[in-house]
Amino acid sequence: MDQWIAPDRIFDGHVLRSGDALRIRNGEIDKIAPAPDTACKVAGLVTPGFVDLQVNGGGGVMLNTTPTCDGIAAIAAAHHRFGTTTIMPTVITDDAQVLDQVVDAMLQAKSVPGVAGLHIEGPHISVARRGTHAAKFVRPMDDRTMTAVTRLRAADIRVMITLAPEAATLSQIAALAKMDVTVSLGHTDATAEAFQDAIAAGASCATHLFNAMSPMLGRAPGAVGAAINSDCYAGIICDGQHVADSMVGMAIRARPVPDRMFLVSDAMATVGGPDTFDLYGKRIALQDGRLVNAEGSLAGAHVTQAEGVKRLVTHTGTPLQTALRMATTTPAGCINAPALGALVGQPVDDVVLLNDDLSFTGYLRGALEKHHAST
């Protein structure tokens, strides 16, 4: 039986709409149309579930330390609690056997709800721009990683790989792109020219813009300037810690092509989990909203996509419609999976509700159950 739901506002994956309703058929959004008189009223803003292409951990689990199917499922479940319905679990620079284990796990986790594929962040990066990645594991692109990626693509699993242009050849980048791998440039000390050459070879994205990349200067645009001035996609962390809010807003406004900036959390195990975790055998702790290692340096992020969306609007001057695209449609487009960011076709279990101050309040199914219980 069809049911019509009339929220205060609807974000359909592209634009904000008022006065319309959602038709629910067989447990998913089937149609958006003007609200009939019989539609059930729901307070708040309805949006597709958020898409996050850079998730290191959640629920007390880090992919690097728990490279299993159960570990992947636990991370996805932890982020689902906060409105993120699709993730790319992310394995960072580590021993080569860890990547092999993660690939085995991903092959088993192919049907785990909410997992869009695997993000391999390193180890083919710049030592100078490695951030919290362990220097001892950093190495040039090699056949072992190419084999790991080939195994995933043979199983039709989406892959994003972050690498530095100086750690891979242009022919290797081209070979990855030919396999429909999303090659993302990051953790790099490259010049703007080297960055642009990598784009010409097939790279189509930049990883956490501003962080762990050569900066933009007046006479040396660096990786940051090259990324901003390109038509590539670029992820960015909006937590008030990794990038100044004013710089986030500036970068969004400066892009020459719209809908190329997307939000990532770069979340660690503390999201939905304890305030500490181990990485490379060392303790990382949450202190005043910042994840820091023993030296007091930033070590990943403690933020959800929903919190990032809210901060984009309240602190960076980003219009709400743009901010919502940055957490839904645009990341989905980056990995060539547009359906992930659309509202029509979403199950009600994955349709997000935000209140007037843009805080995540739950999913549409919960609101419907609450409504039915009160009538």
CATH number of the domain where residue 9 is located: 2.30.40.10
Better pLDDT: 39 or 153? 153
On the question of a cis peptide bond just before residue 123, with omega within 30 degrees of 0, the verdict is yes
Reported as a pLDDT band with limits 50, 70 and 90, residue 353 is very high
pLDDT at 304 over 90: yes
Whether 291 and 361 share a structural domain: no
The stretch 270-277 carries a mean pLDDT of 96
Whether 175 and 162 share a structural domain: yes
Total domains, the chain: 2
The stretch 328-341 carries a mean pLDDT of 97
Whether 351 and 328 share a structural domain: no
Which pLDDT tens digit goes with each residue over 68-127? 999 999 999 999 999 999 999 999 999 999 999 999 999 999 989 999 999 999 999 999
Residue 301, SS3? strand
Whether 243 and 283 share a structural domain: yes
- In the beta sheet, which residues pair with residue 213? 188
Whether 234 and 336 share a structural domain: yes
Whether 104 and 26 share a structural domain: no
Distances (CA, A) of 20 to 3, 34, 41, 42, 46: 14, 4, 11, 12, 11
pLDDT of residue 143: 97
Nearest 5°: the CA angle 147, 158, 224 is 90
pTM of the model: 0.97
Whether 140 and 281 share a structural domain: yes
pLDDT at 373 over 90: no
Whether 12 and 137 share a structural domain: no
pLDDT at 375 over 60: no
Q: Which of 189, 266, 278, 350 is catalytic?
A: 266
Per DSSP, the chain holds a count of helices (H) and strands (E) of: 11, 20
Whether 114 and 152 share a structural domain: yes
The stretch 334-357 carries a mean pLDDT of 96
Whether 63 and 86 share a structural domain: yes
Domain of residue 134 covers 50-341
Which pLDDT tens digit goes with each residue over 168-201? 999 999 999 999 999 999 999 999 999 999 999 9
Q: What are phi and psi of 236, to 5 degrees?
A: -150, 145
Whether 209 and 314 share a structural domain: yes
Q: What burial letters (b/e) apply to 265-279, b meaning 16+ CB within 10 Å?
A: bbbbbbbbbeeebeb
Whether 232 and 273 share a structural domain: yes
Clarify whether 266 is annotated catalytic. Answer: yes
CATH number of the domain where residue 290 is located: 3.20.20.140
